[in-house]
Amino acid sequence: MFRLALAFVLGLTIVPCASAQESQEKRFYTYQACDHPLKMTDIVVGKYGEQPLFNGLGVQFHVNGTPYQSSVMFFTNQDTGTWSMVSLYPDGTACMIANGTNFEPYAGPRLPSKDTSN
């Protein structure tokens, strides 16, 4: 599943981009289950046996375009292959961004990076 998602993302970079105005008009809305951080942790650690793999800072956008910075944690259970991505917002709310199965380390070719020194 991860390989399929990666192939999709890579495919998007090959397809010519639409104009900026056109791309801003297209939106994808999702629902995130949110709760107290301890309850969210109880689900991913207690129910699925997942442990933190990495964390970082991220930005998500409200329906009205307002950006929200959050701390993002990615949990995995390397025995069962389940995974969860959880955001922790500054107000103390934790939200499940996504979760799934078939987690495995990426073993494909290294992706080219763009030179940002110019």
Query: pLDDT of 42-75, one tens digit each?
Result: 988 899 999 999 999 998 888 888 898 999 999 9
Eight-class DSSP state of 84: E
Is pLDDT above 80 for 10? no
**How far apart (Å, rounded) are the C-alpha atoms in residues 75 and 49?**
9
The structure's pTM equals: 0.67
More confident residue, 92 or 17: 92
Give the pLDDT of residue 20. 46
DSSP assignment string, 39-64? HHHIIIIIIT--EEEEEEEEEEE-TT
**How far apart (Å, rounded) are the C-alpha atoms in residues 14 and 10?**
7
